[in-house]
């Protein structure tokens, strides 16, 4: 079933036969099995798959934050065996530092990287404005709604214009409108900065709308079930979602999903 799509020109990420097993008290959990995936430089790849199939785990392996059990991951020319700091990550849980205001939470990225602070502050303000949080720069995480916290963590990941962006359901807590807006903003930023994006989502239409390729993962142990090339023109426009081609893609993905047997019969 593994239909590998045409390999992109300049590979940025190369995942070869990677497996991951979590050792548990009551036996091991086999989270990822034999993953093969190559992502080109500047490519936007989305990952969809049922809950618990190993998407977040794969993202953590890519970032070098968790070690893999078998196989090989290369990012750029580098073999990943320790944390890779040349990335921006949006974690599934917004990991905000509760002792810092929204603005300071974004700025930590610059502080740690020893980037010039004044310019960073400028950019952080712009990013917060982009996600409509200009009025909450000084609010502490406790004083923010779930969606607001998530938006702060997105700004943090974007601050330093990383060459590789890893996003774990970044828009999950946002309403449809804000989400549409941020999707467009994200695409613009990617185009401007030639970022490679590894994007986990639960929304098939979001995946289709944003991506060059969509990876469908099968449930435990997570495998790459199928990779779909999305052949839609760029820049993407919201109106494209009404296109037949677009709906064809979403339908195809939905069918693959259903084929995974995740879905029980209707009761």
Partner 1 sequence: MATITEAAPPAHPLRLSLRVLGNISPAFWTLVLLVVLWELAVQINQVPVYILPAPSRVAAEIIDYWPRLMINAGVTVSEILIGFGCAIAVGVPLAVLVTYSRVAERAIYPLIVASQTIPKVAIAPLLMAWFGYGLTPKIVIVVLLSFFPIVINSVVGLKASSAEMLYLAQSMGATPWQTFWKFRLPQALPYIFAGLKLATVLAVIGAVVAEFIGADRGLGYVIVVAGSSFNIARQFAAIIVISAIGMVFFVIIELLERLVVPWKNTAVVASE
Ligand X SMILES: Nc1ncnc2c1ncn2[C@@H]1O[C@H](COP(=O)(O)OP(=O)(O)OP(=O)(O)O)[C@@H](O)[C@H]1O
With contacts defined by CB under 6 A, name the span among 50-58, 108-116, 206-214, 254-262 that binds ligand X. 50-58
Contact 193, 160 (CB under 8 A): no
Does position 175 interact with a copy of itself (CB under 8 A)? The reply is yes
231: phi then psi, degrees, rounded to nearest 5: -100, 70
Does the footprint of a copy of itself cover residue 6 (CB under 8 A)? no
Q: Does 199 bind a copy of itself (CB under 8 A)?
A: no
The correct pick among 49, 50, 54, 64 for binding partner 1 (CB under 8 A) is 64
* 29 part of the interface to a copy of itself, by CB under 8 A: yes
Joined tokens for residue 85: 């700091």
Identified binder of ligand X from the candidate list 42, 54, 88, 170, rule CB under 6 A: 54
Residue 98 binds partner 1, judged by CB under 8 A? yes
For residues 150 and 250, which CB has a smaller minimum distance to partner 1 in the complex?
150
Least distance CB 212 / a copy of itself (angstroms): 20
User: How distant is the alpha carbon of residue 89 from its chain centre?
Assistant: 8
Q: What is the DSSP letter of 134?
A: G
Single out the segment in contact with Mg ion by CB under 5 A; choices: 78-86, 146-154, 240-248, 258-266: 146-154
Q: How far apart are CA 195 and CA 177, in angstroms?
A: 24
- 41 interacts with ligand X by CB under 6 A: no
CB atoms under 10 Å from CB of 235, counted, come to 9
What gap in Å lies between CA 109 and CA 155, rounded to an integer?
A: 10
End-to-end CA distance of the chain: 30
The residue among 144 and 187 lying less far from ligand X, judged by its C-beta, is 144
Among 3, 25, 51, 231, binds partner 1 (CB under 8 A): 25
> What angle, 0 to 180 degrees and rounded to 10, lies between the N-to-C axes of helices 146-158 and 102-113?
20
Q: Residue 11 in 3-state DSSP?
A: strand
Contacts of ligand X in 131-170 (CB under 6 A): 142-148
């Amino acid at each position: 079933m593994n239909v590998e799509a045409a390999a992109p020109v300049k590979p940025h990420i190369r995942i070869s036969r990677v497996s991951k097993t979590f050792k548990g008290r009551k036996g091991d959990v086999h989270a990822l099995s034999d993953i093969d995936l190559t992502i080109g430089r500047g490519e936007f790849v989305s990952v969809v798959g049922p809950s618990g199939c190993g998407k977040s785990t794969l993202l953590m392996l890519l970032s070098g934050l968790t070690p893999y059990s078998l196989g090989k991951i290369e990012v750029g020319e580098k073999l990943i065996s320790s944390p890779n700091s040349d990335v921006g990550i949006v974690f599934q849980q917004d990991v905000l530092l509760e002792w810092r205001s929204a603005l300071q939470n974004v700025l930590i990225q610059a502080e740690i990287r020893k980037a010039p602070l004044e310019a960073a502050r400028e950019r952080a303000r712009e990013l917060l404005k982009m996600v409509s949080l200009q009025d909450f720069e000084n609010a502490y995480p406790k004083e923010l709604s779930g969606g607001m916290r998530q938006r702060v963590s997105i700004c943090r990941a974007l601050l330093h214009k990383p060459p590789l962006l890893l996003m774990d359901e970044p828009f999950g807590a946002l309403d449809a409108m804000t989400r549409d807006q941020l999707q467009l903003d994200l695409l613009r930023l990617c185009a401007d900065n030639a970022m490679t994006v590894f994007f986990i989502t639960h929304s098939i239409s979001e995946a289709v709308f944003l991506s060059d390729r969509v990876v469908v993962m099968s449930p435990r142990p997570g495998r790459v079930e199928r990779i779909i090339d999305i052949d839609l023109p760029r820049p993407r426009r919201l109106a494209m979602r009404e296109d037949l081609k677009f709906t064809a893609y979403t339908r195809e993905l939905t069918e693959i999903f259903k084929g995974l047997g995740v879905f029980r019969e209707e009761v």
